[in-house]
A and B are shown apart, each in its own frame.
Chain A
Amino acid sequence: MSLRPPGGYLARMSESSGHRFHLNGAELVAEPDGCLWWPARGLLAVADLHLEKGSAGAVRGQLLPPYDSRETLLRLARTVGRLRPRRIVCLGDSFHDLGGASRLGEEERAALHALMAGCHWVWVLGNHDPAPPRGLAGEVVPEWVEGALCFRHEAAACPPRQVAGGEVSGHYHPKITLPGRHGSVRGRCFARAGNRLILPAYGAYAGGLDVFSPPLARLLGRSAEVYVLAGQRVLAVRTDAVRRLAGLDAARALP
């Protein structure tokens, strides 16, 4: 397995098809794979990698396909190869549990080292990985502040308008269901309200929490923007409109 980022001029030139927006004055891009890109700083943020979630299940006898870490790292390597960040901030829950880092397979470990070698790597601690990953380099912090933005694992427990500065977090794995006439389309999404931005989970086995579920709804308030990961693109919609649309769609279901 080669996780070496494809280098060169062409890779750097390729267009990002993400969604561009501003958070507390910083110009950011929500990438289609779920990373957050800050071009001015060369900073790439990624949340909830949940590496080795598969083997965490296997320890308990649930034998999930053991390919989740390599899948997650492959995806990250592609984006890193395209964007060439100077700094990568992992917003916590980077490993599914404390033993995760020591269960990494050889190839996956090499791939992670290769990714880390090219930039300044920051581990923000999360609830699944409250201690630094064993045997891995990188700076370990409870939160990372840079410019007008604060990167943390879990959003502060307050309504979006009380957020001081720009807040970038993970933890909640936001996802949304967009109703369509032929059934609904479900996808991971960024959720943004005011100065608050919550990143989608990046890990291959990381599930999702609906943006309308109470914990997320509390953090996002009545109306939030969501940037939905849809294949090669990102769709930007507002939650209040999706709510209305959901009602509208159910009415269509009447025979």
Chain B
Amino acid sequence: MPDAPPPSAPSLPALFGGWFAAKGWQPHAHQLDMLAAAAAGRNALLIAPTGGGKTLAGFLPSLIELAERPREGLHTLYISPLKALAVDIRRNVEVPVAELRLPIRIETRTGDTPQVRRERQRRRPPHMLMTTPESLSLILSYPDVPQMVGGLRCIIVDELHALAGTKRGDLLSLALARLQTLVPKARRVGLSATVAHPAELLAWLSRRGRADAGDVALVEGRAGARAEVEILETRERLPWAGHMALHALDEVMARIKGAGTTLVFVNTRAQAELVFQGLWRINEDNLPIALHHGSLSVEQRRKVEAAMAAGKLRAVVATSSLDLGIDWAAVDLVVQVGAPKGVSRLVQRIGRANHRLDQPSRALLVPANRFEVLECRAAADGVREMTLDGAPSPPGGLDVLAQHILGMACAAPFTADDLYAEVTSAAPYAGLARSDFDDVLAFVATGGYALAAYDRYHRLARSDAGTYELANKGFAQRYRMNVGTIVESTMVKVQLRGGRRLGEVEEYFVNGLLPGDTFMFAGELLTFVGLKETTAVCTRGGLGEPKVPVYGGGRLPLSTHLADRVRAMLADPSLWPLLPAAVQEWLRLQRWRSVLPRADRLLVETFPRGGKWFLVAYTFAGRNAHQTLGMLLTRRLERAGVQPLGFVATDYVIAAWSLGEPTDMDGLFDEDMLGDDLEAWMAESSLLRRTFRNVAVIAGLIERRHPGQEKSGKQVTVNSDLIYDVLRRHEPGHVLLRATRNDAARGLTDIGRLADLLARVRGRIDHRRLDRVSPLAVPILLEVGREQVYGSAMDALLEEAEALIREAMPELVDQDPAQPGLPL
């Protein structure tokens, strides 16, 4: 089944050749190419689909080297984004080591590794160490790290595509830069799924942080058989709106019955709970169907993964928690319920099925509404043509740099010049200005405030020779307790009364529960008993309509590439025959009643309805950019004197409604809205507050954990919103606020994408003034009043809370006659 090596490729040493032969294998070409790169001492990037023996290709050179020249000490460091993956990969690599009786000791080191073993690993490291980015940063913060890593020869970064461009990737890139200083001879090896822009990953792996440095060999595995992607043509009525796709569960169940093992991917944890419940309601044959998402307890998730690996399950309903991980050869169908959001993500998910290169993976897409039909069609086309999403990676986060600098100070004194040179050898920081570096360093040392109040209370001390070192040894312990870039929102544990822990939900959701309320979690109906410190105590079962936890920030926006494809499809009726009849009818009606959005223009419709004017813009810029646009558009409408009342946004469309009729579209969508209006809104926005919290935690301004916390249970941290308010008022130019604005611009507010949109449609707005709602506008109007907007709480929504209170409980209004003007 694997192809024969090209004649020029090196061959396996006899020992390994025999082992391959005994297994009935032949080495893949890319496995031999990786051997060649290793022999030449070159860094290497291996891009290959799942199922191509990628992991073995990464480890083979190290296995051969250690087999031929046995030695002590750390030889190979393997870094995975997932703890569980590190454990599984160790198990996989143990197989040839055991079967060939190689003198190689392999261990894992993650947050779960006991302190005693971690100590021993530092004194007497194994030959191969499987770890995570966070654990690697911890290792590098110990003064004795040079001894531990002195003999290192190879660093393997797995699932590189999932790390590069993220803050975890930034942290890891800085760690690699330090390893480079400590052991210049160590080679870097990256393993990645297929990506749109390999050059970015080449730069990431390069010792000089540049794709054209020429120090990384690119090895590409053979592409697997094309995936067979089918879009469910439901027999049910195709919904106009909503994202749950519950209408199609009967049909999904039928597919599960017809397949060996099915992975059912959904987009949010709430959807996972609902789909899981829905499937069990109609699971007459009691098929073993499990649930997997990021809020479930680790033990629960590991149990599901083990059952899956053992072939005991027929289906797992999962969120992105299963996007990465060990290969399960047994999966033969992947179902994506709801919009795929991006081609790359869909390819990754489909790749979880049937890891045999010569057989196509099978996937079924289940759109939840009409726009999602278009998106699914566009995504299926994207998979067929292998056009992947690829936004260029943002520059490395300054907050991550701050954390790294403190870690480096824990290990050894440094000079600013040396550390700057080291940091800028990492690709995400290759363009880092010296002034930004100095600001971050000043923040780590003294807070970096213009008011030099803390000269007495610094974290780093500067010696006469100009080196920086930790001012107090105790700070190292606190750094180590807070390392990492993953910032969770405040979570509350969910526990059965007198029983086990099921997982965690956001504090916000629990605050809305009353004792006796029921809710769905971990696939079970639970009754809330009460909150005990930070644990929501529950019992099984209960009565009444259950609530479903809402999780913030879980939804990815539609990728730019996929949005382009959807726009192109809408604009080209020759592509419509591929769509379900109901959708074709819908689009034809739209063409008749209004006009279709054109790929290179922006369609805006206005129409009166229920005493209000609606403005619907088909912007296709993704939900985050649309939220920002909505806030800015509302200000514009206000200024135009049409008295805006609200807006709602999806991934595709934004709708705003007002008392007066909006007319001047060119003025409303003018690019200059990204100036003062944006500044004014950003300053107050809760999105910025949330972003600031993450930045402050990662940069070490706020500590998640501190020594003695478990004992006292006391919160010593200061609420980040309070810090944000004070800092913004007194030092708006502080480096952490700059970092916050940078992050927000590419994250929750997605200003970059909004700017692209406004620039693209300038002078190209098609305004249709209609006498009533158009067919294409129906879905967005159905979202009015049901949309959950994450986090925009304080953004002028006090009124909303008041109105709600007044609506729900008029008796609340204070009766004091002296105060007729009370806001309630």
Contact = CB atoms under 8 A, between A and B. Distances in A.
Nearest to B445: A63
B115 interface: no
A85 B586 CA distance: 69
Which interface residue of B457, B723, B811 has the most chain A CB atoms within 10 A?
A: B457
Interface residues of A, number: 57
Secondary structure at the B interface, as helix, strand, loop or mixed, is loop
Given A182-B797, A205-B723, A253 B788 contact: yes
Interface in B459-474: 459, 471-472, 474
Contact of A253 (B243, B457, B550, B812): B550
Interface string B794-806: 1001101110110
A186 interface: yes
A254 B545 contact: yes
Nearest to A58: B457
A88 B731 CA distance: 30
Interface in A90-105: 105
Interface stretch (A40-48, A151-159, A227-235): A227-235
Secondary structure at the A interface, as helix, strand, loop or mixed, is mixed
Contact of B809 (A53, A204, A241): A241
A62 interface: yes
A183 B701 contact: no
A129 B715 CA distance: 19
Given A183-B793, A247-B517, A251-B545, A205 B459 contact: no
B792 A55 contact: no
B565 to A, nearest CB: 27
Contact of A205 (B270, B726, B801): B726
Given A185-B793, A185-B798, A66 B453 contact: yes
Contact of B797 (A58, A61, A183, A243): A183
B723 A61 contact: no
Interface string A240-255: 0101111111110111
B804 A65 contact: no
B797 A238 contact: no
Interface stretch (A111-119, A134-142, A173-181): A173-181
A174 to B, nearest CB: 14
Nearest to B718: A205
A245 B804 contact: yes
A19 interface: yes
B511 A237 contact: no
A182 B823 contact: no
B771 to A, nearest CB: 30
A57 B706 CA distance: 12
B454 A63 contact: yes
A248 B243 contact: no
A246 B512 CA distance: 5
B719 interface: yes
Interface in B112-145: none
A250 B447 contact: no
A20 B545 contact: no
B188 to A, nearest CB: 34
A65 B449 contact: yes
A235 B824 contact: yes
Contacts of A208: 719
A248 B512 CA distance: 8
A55 B793 contact: no
B715 A207 contact: yes
A151 to B, nearest CB: 23
B429 to A, nearest CB: 23
Contacts of A105: 451, 453
Interface string A168-208: 00000000011111111110000000000000000011111
Contacts of B454: 55, 58, 63, 66
A144 interface: no
A33 interface: no
Interface string A105-148: 10000000000000000000000000000000000000000000
Nearest to A204: B726
B818 interface: yes
Given A64-B723, A182-B793, A253-B550, A177 B459 contact: no
A180 B806 CA distance: 12
Given A180-B800, A185-B797, A244-B809, A249 B512 contact: yes
25 contacts: A53-B718, A55-B454, A63-B443, A63-B701, A65-B449, A70-B730, A180-B793, A183-B686, A184-B508, A184-B793, A205-B718, A205-B722, A205-B726, A206-B722, A237-B812, A238-B812, A241-B811, A245-B808, A246-B511, A246-B512, A247-B513, A254-B547, A255-B243, A255-B244, A255-B548
Given A180-B793, A212-B511, A249-B512, 20 more contacts: A19-B822, A63-B457, A63-B459, A63-B701, A66-B447, A66-B449, A66-B454, A67-B449, A67-B731, A183-B789, A241-B808, A241-B811, A245-B805, A245-B808, A251-B545, A253-B512, A253-B547, A253-B550, A255-B270, A255-B786
Interface of A: 19-21, 53, 55, 57-59, 61-68, 70-71, 105, 177-186, 204-208, 210, 212, 230-231, 233-238, 241, 243-251, 253-255
6 interchain residue pairs of minimum CB distance: A63-B447, A250-B512, A66-B453, A183-B793, A58-B457, A180-B801
